[in-house]
Each structure stands twice: as C-alpha cells, then as structure tokens.
Amino acid sequence: MDLKRLRYFCVIVEQGSISKASRILNISQPPLSKRLQELEEEVGTALVTRNGSGIKTTEAGMVLYLRACDILRSVEEARSEALQAARPKAQVLRIGISYLYQCYFSPLVATFCQKLGGVKIETVISDSSTLETMLSERRIDVALIQQPQPLAGYECVSLPPIKVVAVISRKLLAAPPGAHILLTEVGQLPLILLRRIHGEGTFEFISAQLRKLGVQPNIIISGNEPRIVFDMLSQGIEAASLMPASEVPEQVKNFCYVVDIYPTPNVFFPSFVKLAATPQQPELMNILLHYQCAVTAG
C-alpha cells in the first residue's frame, strides 16, 4: 500500500474536504481525488462519502484512517531515529505558541529547555489557526494552543481552563465594579474580542453565549492577539473585553478595571497538540504530564 496515498487520505479525513486538503498538501484537487479513488480501488470499498459541504468518512474509512495514523507514525519514528543516529547532536524541537497563551505557556517552554538535554528549542508565535496549519504541514512539531475543534488527527493533552476576566475601560463606568460583574452586564458594553484568523473559536463561542442570555453583543473591534486589545484600551478606546486571566499584564490596571465574571464561562482551553501520526517523544510527554499535574493541583 502506497504511503503517500495513505498520508493524502489522512489529511483529507482530518480536513473534512478534498479542497481544504489540497491547500494543505499543495496539490490541485483533481490528482488528489484520483489518489483517493486509487486507494479505494486498492482497498476494495468506499472510504468516504461526498456531500455538498465536504466528505464524511465511512466505517471502513475510519478503520483505515486509524490504522494509517499508526503506520505513518511508525514510519516517522523510524525516519526520526535514523536521523538521530546520523546526527546525534542535531535534535530540534519546533514549538508553536498561540498569541492567546504566551504568558501561560512560558513556564512550560522554560521547563522543556531545562530538562530536554541536548535538544535545541525553536519557537514561533502566531494565531492558533495558523499554528494548526503549520502542524499539518509539519513545519512545527508541537503546538501550545486553544484546544482544536474537531480533534480528529490530533493527539491533544488538555490543561485546566484558564479563568476568564472582564477588562473594562475606566472611562466606561462611573464607579469601580464590585468583586465580580455579570456576564450580561459585560455583554451590554462596547466590546473588543479576540478572534481566530481562520475558523471558529472563542469569538463565536462568546458571541453565542451572550445571545443565549438575551444580549446582542456590540463588537466594535476584533483582533487575534491580546496585545492588540490592550493597545486599543490604552489608547483610550471606551470598550471592554473578555480575556484569559494569565495574559493580563499588571499595568493594564492603570487604565482598566480587571474583574471576575459571574457566572464564569469556560472559554479558554489551553492544550498541548501534536499530529496523531507523528512519533511519540517519551521524555517530552513525561515533562508535560508532570506539568499538567502541577497546574491541575495548583
């Protein structure tokens, strides 16, 4: 069975459409469809069904997908081990870090640097959706991002949700708020919200939650990183935002109120993510699991 066809098939399943997979693989749609057809002929049954919005994996296709992930992982592990044998000092771990969780994940990256002896760490900071694409294209090894949706194709270690706080321009309120503020009250203020470059994420979730509470949000600005939000507020924009508490610098309190929200919505889900088909790294995973236990206990 041709490994390239298997890899193409896995990307098609993970992306949910041939058109999206063709962009990830940098292959035009007709030859990609042809490779899928050849694989189905080789297996002897349909692996996907097609509809107007994309593809749906058949039961046989899902069985093959799961086995293909194991096969591709084994091949990658063999290649990685061969490269390590040829260049024992050339180990590199490429980590993508979401703008959304730069401060939150800094201790974990520092721990990787301290405990992964002989491994060079390379980092890139970007939007979660961009990092998911970089993972699919194998331009990074792991991503520290908002938990992907859907999870198909990923191996994901989830960390506890980060508390959401309201960051409110002092110009908006006549008096400081109390110990907490209602989510509906925040929703009635002009809002600056974080938004992914591609796909749906916290922006859509927060908007939907406010609508369920009977509030039509007035979103005046959106941006893909917390720094943009804080810059706007520091420039005197009279607005509020919902932010992960870990990413709010102390100096923001000079021009904003930072307040707990009631009821507390679970919005921000930091996760360690790698492709299911990439090799396991026991030492890396051991560090991560210890970190997960420490964060959960804390």
Return the domain boundaries, the chain. Answer: 3-82, 91-160+269-297, 164-262
Classify each residue of 85-100 as buried b or exposed e, where b means 16 or more C-beta atoms within 10 Å of its C-beta.
Answer: eeeeeeeebbbbbbbb
Domains 3-82 and 91-160+269-297 equal at CATH topology level: no
Q: Assign domain 3-82 to a CATH class.
A: mainly alpha
pLDDT score of 2: 84
Residue 82's pLDDT is: 80
pLDDT at 84 over 80: no
pLDDT surpassing 80 at residue 53: no
**pLDDT tens digits, one per residue of 250-288:** 999 999 999 999 888 889 999 999 888 777 678 888 888
At 105-124, the pLDDT tens digits run 999 999 998 888 778 899 99
Pick the CATH number of 164-262 from 3.30.200.20, 3.40.30.10, 2.60.40.1180, 3.40.190.10: 3.40.190.10
Report the range out of 70-74, 108-112, 292-296 with the highest average pLDDT. 108-112
What's the CATH code, domain 91-160+269-297? 3.40.190.10
Q: Return the structure tokens found at 161.
A: 């949700």
* Chain segment 195-239, per-residue pLDDT in tens: 998 888 899 999 999 999 999 999 999 998 999 999 999 999 999
Taking the C-alpha atoms of residue 108 and residue 184, their distance in angstroms, rounded to an integer, is 35
When pLDDT is cut at 50, 70 and 90, the band that residue 86 belongs to is low
What pLDDT does 96 receive? 96
pLDDT of 298 reads 67
Amino acid present at 125? I
84 or 43, higher pLDDT: 43
Q: How many CB atoms lie within 10 A of CB 234?
A: 14
Residue 297: per-residue pLDDT = 77
216/23: higher pLDDT: 216
In the chain, % of residues over pLDDT 70: 97
Average pLDDT score over residue span 24-49: 89
Q: pLDDT tens-digit profile of 135-167?
A: 988 899 999 999 888 767 788 888 999 999 999
Higher pLDDT, 239 or 26: 239
Full 3-state SS string of the chain: CCHHHHHHHHHHHHHCCHHHHHHHHCCCHHHHHHHHHHHHHHHCCCCEEEECCEEEECHHHHHHHHHHHHHHHHHHHHHHHHHHHHCCCCCEEEEEEEHHHHHHHHHHHHHHHHHCCCCEEEEEEECHHHHHHHHHCCCCCEEEEECCCCCCCEEEEECCCECEEEEEEHHHCCCCCCCEEEHHHHHCCEEEEECCCCCCCHHHHHHHHHHHCCCCCEEEEEECCHHHHHHHHHCCCCCEEEEEHHHCCHHHHHCEEEEEEECCCCCECEEEEEECCCCCCHHHHHHHHHHHHHHHHC
